[in-house]
Amino acid sequence: MNRKKLLAYEESERAYARSTGKHCVKAGIIQNLKPAFHDLKLPWSYGVQRRQAPLHALIFLYPSTLVFVPPTTEASLTERLGMDMKAFLQLCDHGLITPMIGHPQQYADRAHLDPILQRKPASIWARGDEVAHAYANAKEYWKEARRILPLNKIHNLKWVRAKWCRQYGYLDGKVLSDQIDIEICTNYVNLCIFGFERFARTITETQQPSLIAKRLIEANEVATYPQLLGVGGSINYGLSDAPLIQNVRKQFLLDVDTTYVSETPSILLNGLGVSFPSQINAETIKRFHADGMPRHLQKAWSGFEQAIRAKGKDAAGVFKASSQVEETLHDALRLIRSNTYNLRRTKLAKISDNIVKTSSIAGIAGAALAANLNPIAALLAGFSITGFVAKNTRAEKMAVDAIVDFCLSMKQPGYAAHLWWIDKWKSGNESKDA
């Protein structure tokens, strides 16, 4: 999309923010940005993806998930999202993902971003900046930020340049430095317009440019982004970020509700036989929500992680936690099986029917024995001896039903034990890498 179109797009975003922004602010401080994003028609509950949080898990846990899409390269975007663009756009079209963008003009002439821009995502930069300038004294805070921040020293820090190179991979030299100046000032101004002016000024009192930049970024992550990027949704971080976020909350006395996402939803979803968007289409995930599955998944996930936290990471404790939470998991799984039984049976029956018709019965029996599926093996072996299955559709149906019933009745493994071994394997690899 060319710059001229994006300039017009930005103005329309700002106009909407001007017309709704007065409802976001009280006494010159932004309290709640939801009115400025009312047109998104967000569901009653929605998640927000932040650092390291697995998007492929969040889309199963929330009716919709807000996802910030930076103006970066296609490769970096795919890595950030954890899925290819086709899957991402499918989920956007079904409302399972709500994309958000930054400054519209930074997305100009980047063909790989056009499919996202064509869906008219809200610009958090245009709307937030307009509300801030029109109703929250942002102009004066911008002047103050440029006056008191050591921008020349900050934008030359190696880690700072590396951070924004990842987001703006097409910028370098002075252009990148100018963009970093804008980003750092924005972090300062954000704190001020959301009522954390005292914190912002305290941060700048240190004489270390690196520490100023680090603390501004961290404070925004907890203090302003839940509203600015999340519009009041449940902001989710990766589990590895938990110590950092908790430290910032304690340091700045910030009481902000946050959620951390570990490997657990992935383990639970695998146990249900649900694969991720690179292997599954958006219709399947939409049906998962339509069947009311997220609440059961959340219940199992919550109970599981509480038990893990209570028992620690020692082998005996984790296995004990596994048995304690087993009932909760199986309750959820039984509900899921009951709600999706017919769908899963139909799918399994088609696969099994095709195998029975196109493969030798003896071969299937051998494979079943190797997989320790003795009831099926015995049944199929009996058919292969008589040769009856090849001539009788009723016998074919019996074989298919036996396979399907066996698959549907299989018990799920102990998830806590899975988590224990995954954690142990990761720790071992990290030690090797070190």
pLDDT in tens, 282-322: 777 887 787 777 877 777 667 666 665 665 555 555 555 55
- Sort strands 122-123 and 234-238 into parallel, antiparallel or unpaired: unpaired
- The reported pLDDT for the residue numbered 322 is 56
- The reported pLDDT for the residue numbered 418 is 44
Q: SS in 3 state form for the chain?
A: CCHHHHHHHHHHHHHHHHHHHHHCEECCEECCCHHHHHHHCCCCCCEEECCCCCHHHHHHHCCCEEEECCCCCHHHHHHHHCCCHHHHHHHHHCCCEEEEECCHHHHCCCHHHHHHHCCCCEEHHHHHHHHHHHHCCHHHHHHHHHHHCCHHHHCCCHHHHHHHHHHCCCCCHHHHHHHHHHHHHHHHHHHHHCCCHHHHHHHHCCCCHHHHHHHHHHHHHHHCHHHHCCCCCEEEEEHHHHHHHHHHHHHCCCCCCEEEECCHHHHHHHHCCCCCCCCCCHHHHHHHHHCCHHHHHHHHHHHHHHHHHHHCCCHHHHHHHHHHHHHHHHHHHHHHHHHHHHHHHHHHHHHHHHHHHHCCHHHHHHHHHHCCCHHHHHHHHHHHHHCHHHCCHHHHHHHHHHHHHHHHHCCCCCHHHHHHHHHHHHHHHHHHHC
Residue 427, pLDDT above cutoff 90: no
pLDDT in tens, 198-211: 989 999 988 899 99
Cβ atoms of 55 and 67 closer than 8 Å: yes
Biggest CA-to-CA distance, the chain: 90
Residue entry with tokens 């490997």: 263
Going from N- to C-terminal start, the domains of the chain cover 3-260, 291-428
Q: What is the C-alpha separation between 374 and 357, in angstroms, rounded? A: 20
Cβ atoms of 155 and 161 closer than 8 Å: yes
- The reported pLDDT for the residue numbered 92 is 93
Q: Residues 86-92: what's their mean pLDDT?
A: 90
Is 0.85 topped by the overall pTM? no
Cβ atoms of 121 and 99 closer than 8 Å: yes
pLDDT in tens, 119-162: 999 999 999 999 999 999 999 999 999 999 999 999 999 999 99
- The reported pLDDT for the residue numbered 264 is 65
Q: How confident is the model at residue 242 (pLDDT cuts 50, 70, 90)?
A: confident
Residue 255, pLDDT above cutoff 50: yes
Cα torsion through 40, 44, 50, 52, rounded to 10:
-130
Q: What's CA 142's distance to the chain center, in Å? A: 32
Task: State the average pLDDT for the chain.
Answer: 76
pLDDT in tens, 343-393: 666 665 665 565 555 544 444 444 444 444 444 444 444 444 344 444 455
pLDDT in tens, 27-65: 999 999 999 999 998 888 898 998 778 888 888 888 999
- The reported pLDDT for the residue numbered 115 is 95
CA nearest 333: which of 405, 422, 408, 279? 408
Beta bridge partners of 47: 65, 234
Residue entry with tokens 């909760």: 328
Beta bridge partners of 99: 67
Residue entry with tokens 């018990």: 411
b/e sequence 329-353, b meaning 16+ C-beta within 10 Å: beebbebbeebbeeebeeebeeebb
